[in-house]
């Protein structure tokens, strides 16, 4: 099956309310998984989809299924099964966005660690779509508080992750509670035999969609991410503009409205910027791009659609102000820089709930994205002082200063101040529109996260360090561990601290109030096919079972392992960003 698509969303038979949201978000052309999945799902066909995380799978099933809902009947019509709490929340947030104009629509995320009473109350009020993890869905089925007898569709998302985390039997059990005459969609990044067996047992004459990821990025692009915390995104972007050597920049946001709002805010802060979106006339878009090319404009705030085909060699930086919905969009965005062999800079703003997309981008591009720390107040001060000195040097070397020298001499004779004092006063007056010392009320940023999870201190009050017998050699990632513990032990992922993954074991910080029964339960929980065998960490080696761990590490060794000058107007008008030296 081809991965190329030329169809537009407007050509698909989606509900008008759903198409309205798509237009507002700025979607125009569906991703391959969306283009091949939406038509059969709209027709009620079963579907077996293979595509990597970050290719737009959520929209691939959510858009058609929302278009087929009967909103007059407030009972569960669609059930989406996800392996982790984080994915359940991510899917439910996306569904809520796509359904914003469906009057009366209700979606409920169901997962372990959340208050059961809250879920019961919402189920009693009525919901149309449920997104949940297998453990908590089964809890409701046993209680009789969730009825699946009137489901029209079941979606199994990330089936291979369900298998790795030991939930695949639970998925089968849940499917048995759903009506036989239902629509079923199963999505998986890989298709191991166990997943294929389930597909054969539960899908009826399915349409098969297999999308091969060819995503890659240019080697000349330096990719970094900043975890959004402690500083507003606009302030973070301002710091970057102040401190980095920038020629020109394109800033990507998700909506047309956001392009105008952010461009106006940057202009108000003195940066030469303009929006670029699909609502602008073709003539105005071309004029904006031409200004960017010839140096009349330094920052363009754009949507994905408006920036397609944009080729401006002086773009030194691409900032993903809003994280893209899929990995292909990320590659298209960052491809606007690093042209003609020049080094480009790509910066991605990532909120905590968006870490999955960061991992998906890294997997799809096969490149690591490095964490970055925002420039501090001291960095900005040093940069501004350096630019100020260059400006003075340029004036001394290139201007006729005779009249001004006489003026200074005359001032000294009249008032008796020494030359150093007069020069300092002039410097003070010159920098008033853009103070060399940044405002004191701007907090310095927190350090960038060093790993792929929040850097909670192991000594944090209320946490205790445990060892689990699953590590890199088993394919374990933080998301697998968090998902398994949160789902099975009913612990909120917010209460799980630092996770350190080693070759054949891992360390995880958990609440020090875990009961003996809960510890015994977690010992049997499986991640990547391995029982956790959770126990307290007893020493520097991280081992709670010294002899056993020593043998494992020994066995593991025999196996396989892996400056420029700013141009500014003193009137306070829009200023140019710091120029990057060629």
CATH assignment at residue 552: 3.30.70.330
Nearest to 155 by CA among 17, 59, 75: 59
DSSP H helical ranges for 190-303: 193-202, 233-243, 256-268, 282-294
Residues 537, 429 share a domain: no
Residues 406, 266 share a domain: no
* Torsion region of 426: left, alpha or beta (phi above 0 gives left; psi -120 to 50 gives alpha): alpha
Residues 230, 192 share a domain: no
Residues 370, 240 share a domain: yes
Give the pLDDT mean for 423-436: 83
Give the pLDDT mean for 150-160: 94
| Band of pLDDT at residue 98, cut at 50, 70 and 90 | very high
- 519: tokens are 């510890």
Is 567 a member of any domain?
no
Is 457 a member of any domain?
no
The last residue of a domain, from among 377, 404, 422: 377
Minimum mean pLDDT among 160-169, 183-192, 264-273, 372-381: which range? Answer: 372-381
Torsional sign, CA 530, 536, 539, 540: positive
Q: What pLDDT does residue 215 have?
A: 59
Q: What pLDDT does residue 543 have?
A: 43
Q: What pLDDT does residue 8 have?
A: 85
The percentage of residues in the chain with a pLDDT greater than 90, rounded to a whole number, is 38
Residues 29, 132 share a domain: yes
Residues 356, 263 share a domain: yes
Question: In degrees rounded to 5, what are phi and psi of residue 215?
Answer: -65, 135
Residue-level length of the chain: 582
Could you give the number of structural domains in the chain? 4
Residue range 523-569, pLDDT digits in tens: 888 888 888 989 888 654 334 443 333 333 333 333 333 333 333 33
The torsion of the CA quartet 15, 17, 18, 22, rounded to 10 degrees, works out to 130
Give the pLDDT mean for 303-307: 81
Average pLDDT, the chain: 82
| Band of pLDDT at residue 150, cut at 50, 70 and 90 | very high
Q: What pLDDT does residue 341 have?
A: 66
Residues 310, 225 share a domain: yes
Domain span at 504: 463-557
Torsional sign, CA 544, 508, 357, 449: negative
pLDDT at 208 over 60: yes
Q: Coil, strand, or helix at residue 82?
A: coil
User: What whole-number distance in Å separates Cα of residue 565 and Cα of residue 255?
Assistant: 33
The last residue of a domain, from among 327, 347, 377: 377
Q: What pLDDT does residue 578 have?
A: 54
Residues 415, 292 share a domain: no
Residues 160, 58 share a domain: yes
The last residue of a domain, from among 190, 210, 230: 210
pTM as predicted: 0.55
Question: In degrees rounded to 5, what are phi and psi of residue 299?
Answer: -130, 130
Q: What pLDDT does residue 529 have?
A: 80
478-489 and 85-98 helices cross at what angle (nearest 10)?
Answer: 90
Residue range 314-337, pLDDT digits in tens: 999 999 999 988 787 888 889 888
Q: What pLDDT does residue 461 have?
A: 54
Q: Coil, strand, or helix at residue 182?
A: coil
List the strands of the sheet with 463-468, edge to edge: 499-501, 506-511, 463-468, 535-536
Is 572 a member of any domain?
no
Evaluate whether 304 touches 256 at the Cβ level (below 8 Å): no
Residues 243, 182 share a domain: no
User: What whole-number distance in Å separates Cα of residue 39 and Cα of residue 525?
Assistant: 39
Is 109 a member of any domain?
yes
Beta strands in 357-516, from DSSP E residues, in sequence order: 370-371, 463-468, 499-501, 506-511
Q: What is the largest CA-CA distance in the chain?
A: 100
Question: In degrees rounded to 5, what are phi and psi of residue 294?
Answer: -90, 5
Is 576 a member of any domain?
no
- 182: tokens are 């239902």
Q: What pLDDT does residue 119 have?
A: 86
pLDDT at 184 over 80: yes
Give the pLDDT mean for 468-484: 84
CATH number at residue 294: 3.40.50.300
Is 22 a member of any domain?
yes
pLDDT at 435 over 50: yes
Residues 425, 357 share a domain: no
Is 400 a member of any domain?
yes
Residue range 384-415, pLDDT digits in tens: 888 889 889 998 999 999 999 999 999 998 89
Residues 201, 74 share a domain: yes
Burial class (CB in 10 A: 0-12, 13-18, 19+), 174: buried
Is 458 a member of any domain?
no
Q: What pLDDT does residue 490 have?
A: 77
């Amino acid at each position: 099956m081809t991965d190329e698509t030329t169809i537009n969303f407007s050509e698909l038979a989606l509900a008008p309310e759903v198409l309205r949201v798509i237009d507002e978000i700025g979607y125009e052309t569906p991703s391959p998984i969306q283009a091949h999945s939406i038509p059969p799902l709209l027709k009620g066909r079963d579907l077996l989809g293979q595509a990597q995380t970050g290719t737009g799978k959520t929209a691939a099933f959510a858009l058609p299924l929302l278009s087929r809902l009967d909103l007059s009947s407030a009972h569960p019509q669609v059930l989406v099964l996800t392996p982790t709490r984080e994915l359940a929340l991510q899917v439910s947030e996306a569904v809520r966005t796509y359904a914003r104009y469906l009057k009366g629509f209700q979606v409920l995320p169901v997962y372990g660690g959340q208050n059961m009473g809250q879920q019961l109350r919402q189920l009693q009020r009525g919901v149309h779509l449920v997104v949940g993890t297998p453990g908590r869905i089964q809890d409701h089925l046993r209680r009789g508080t969730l009825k699946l007898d009137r489901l029209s569709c079941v979606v199994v998302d990330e089936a291979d992750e369900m298998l790795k985390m030991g939930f695949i039997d639970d998925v089968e059990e849940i499917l048995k509670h759903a009506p036989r005459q239902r629509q079923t969609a199963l999505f998986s990044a890989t298709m191991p035999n166990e997943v294929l067996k389930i597909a054969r047992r539960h899908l009826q004459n399915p349409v098969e969609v297999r999308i091969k990821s060819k995503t890659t990025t240019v080697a000349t692009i330096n990719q970094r991410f900043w975890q959004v915390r402690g500083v507003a995104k606009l302030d973070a972007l301002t710091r970057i503009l102040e401190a980095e050597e920038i020629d020109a920049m394109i800033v990507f946001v998700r909506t047309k409205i956001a392009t105008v709002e952010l461009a106006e805010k940057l202009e108000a802060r003195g940066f030469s910027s303009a929006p670029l979106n699909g609502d602008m006339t073709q003539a105005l878009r071309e004029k904006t791009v031409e200004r960017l090319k010839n140096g009349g404009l330094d920052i363009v705030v754009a949507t994905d659609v408006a920036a397609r085909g944009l080729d401006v060699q002086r773009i030194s930086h691409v900032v993903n102000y809003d994280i893209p919905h899929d990995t292909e969009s990320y590659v298209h965005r960052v491809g606007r820089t690093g042209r003609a062999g020049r080094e480009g800079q790509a910066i991605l703003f990532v909120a905590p709930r968006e870490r999955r997309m960061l991992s998906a981008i890294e997997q799809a591009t096969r490149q690591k994205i490095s964490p970055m720390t925002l420039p501090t107040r001291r960095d900005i001060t040093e940069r501004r002082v350096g630019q100020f000195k260059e400006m003075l040097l340029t004036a001394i070397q290139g201007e006729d200063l005779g009249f001004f020298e006489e003026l200074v001499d005359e001032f000294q004779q009249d008032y008796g101040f020494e030359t150093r004092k007069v020069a300092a006063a002039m410097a003070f007056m010159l920098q008033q529109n853009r103070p060399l010392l940044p405002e004191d009320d701007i907090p310095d940023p927190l350090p960038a996260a060093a790993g792929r999870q929040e850097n909670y201190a192991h000594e944090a009050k209320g946490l205790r360090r445990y060892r689990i017998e699953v590590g890199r050699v088993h394919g374990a990632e933080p998301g697998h561990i968090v998902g398994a513990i949160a789902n099975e032990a009913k612990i909120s992922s917010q209460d799980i601290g630092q996770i350190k993954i080693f070759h054949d074991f891992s360390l995880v910080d958990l609440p020090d109030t875990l009961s003996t029964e809960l510890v015994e339960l977690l010992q049997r929980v499986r991640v990547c096919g391995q029982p956790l065998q959770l126990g307290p960490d007893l020493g520097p080696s991280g081992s709670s079972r010294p002899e056993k761990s020593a043998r494992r590490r020994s066995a593991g060794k025999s196996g396989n392992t892996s400056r420029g000058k700013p141009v500014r107007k003193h009137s306070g008008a829009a200023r140019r960003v710091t120029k990057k030296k060629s």
